[in-house]
Structure 1
Amino acid sequence: MIKALLSGVFAALLLAGCATVAGKVAGGAHDYPEAESYLVSDDAEADVDAALARASENGKRVLLVMGANWCHDSRALAGWLSTERFTALIEREYELVFVNIGMPQRGDGHNLGIAQRFGLKELPGTPNLLVLTGDGKLVNAETATTWRDAASREEDAIYDELAMLSDKAV
């Protein structure tokens, strides 16, 4: 009986650590908005191709976010991108595409060929953020796979990086 009680208390504490409050999650020293945007598409490759075509037509870049709903860093990044501040930047400078990649670090990856198409041999974690020109050139090869700490990043730092990467001179 004591084991059952302790198990119940332990489970409650674990769930409390994952709870969201008013659309925000406490992420250590940071609070971030949380969203789920990594829907399983019937044809993620076609979604990317359509975004590339739109970007080519309108002089924008593609913001390709490869993550998963199970990942708090992916949900945090998706949450930031859905805020008013970020949507204004994205509407002005990017064609946004979310691609579900499952759990590549555990051998259960999805849509990994998309990353390989743009020169990334592997995705060590989630999320990954690829900025592409309309003709499919990867602009941020050095930083595309470094977003595994998105939930810990400051809003201004994320915004500043996306603003910098939208610059056509980069």
Structure 2
Amino acid sequence: MRWSPIGVLLAFGCALGSLPGCSERAEPSPSNEPAESAPPEIARPYEEGVDAQAQIDAAVARSRDDGKRVLLVFGANWCPWCRRLEHTLRNDEGVAGDLRDGFRVVHVDVGARGSDVNRQVAARYGDPLSNGLPCIVVLDREGEVAHVQETGSLESGDRHDPALVRAFLARWRAG
């Protein structure tokens, strides 16, 4: 039996279309990104397009009255570790209580990878972004940098350890 060129192309096309990776309904391949562990209600803790410096200035003004320190949390919504930190800050009762009692928290969005969103704000507070994301800056009541903290040392496994976060907060709480 002799095959015509058109017959060969038709047979090849049918065979190719039956392969899983070549059909229109192929399932997406798994991602190398870590699984999101933060619940939906805190999946986007960083507000985009807000005036971060104005928020910081307002928090510093309030801290002069109540004596609390200002905690700047630099991060981005695309960052799984930023969302994990936020999960610990909001959902661990001890951590949330320590924050409520001793700090005014301002989240500073750094935007998409490679963007310059709030880079000037970060530079004003000791360039914490050089430590990676998320990162924390503690300000005193006058708005001066008291401490810049990378958060890798607050991690345990695939989360931020509440005991380590609480120890950090206790150390930098205004006294």
**Short-chain TM bin:** 0.7 to 0.9
Aligned to 1:96: 105
Q: Output the aligned Cα RMSD.
A: 3.0
Aligned to 1:160: 167
**Residue by residue, what CA displacement relative to the aligned partner does 1:84-103 show, whole Å, maximum 9, x if unpaired?**
32221111100011110124
Q: TM-score, normalised by structure 2?
A: 0.73
> How far off its partner does 1:35 sit?
4.0
Instruction: State the alpha-carbon separation in 2 of the partners of residues 98 and 17 from structure 1.
Output: 22
Q: Confirm or deny: 8 A CA contact 1:34 1:80 kept in the other structure.
A: no
- Percent identity between matched residues is 28
> How far off its partner does 1:138 sit?
1.3
Check if 1:62 corresponds to 2:62. no
- Equivalent pairs counted in the alignment come to 152
Q: TM-score, normalised by structure 1?
A: 0.75
> How far off its partner does 1:34 sit?
5.9
The residue correspondences of 1:2-81 to structure 2 (distance < 5 A) are 2-4=20-22, 8=26, 11=29, 13-14=30-31, 18=35, 20=37, 23=39, 35-81=43-89
Q: Confirm or deny: 8 A CA contact 1:118 1:136 kept in the other structure.
A: no
Change (3 A) 1:108 1:155: same
Q: Which runs of 5+ in 1 are unaligned?
A: 25-32
Structure 1 counterpart of 2:94, from 69, 85, 92: 85
Q: Confirm or deny: 8 A CA contact 1:34 1:76 kept in the other structure.
A: no
Q: Confirm or deny: 8 A CA contact 1:36 1:78 kept in the other structure.
A: no
Q: Which runs of 5+ in 2 are unaligned?
A: 1-18
Q: Confirm or deny: 8 A CA contact 1:66 1:129 kept in the other structure.
A: yes
Secondary structure of 1:69's counterpart equals: coil
Q: Which runs of 4+ in 1 moved over 6 A?
A: none
Instruction: State the alpha-carbon separation in 2 of the partners of residues 19 and 131 from structure 1.
Output: 27
> How far off its partner does 1:155 sit?
1.9
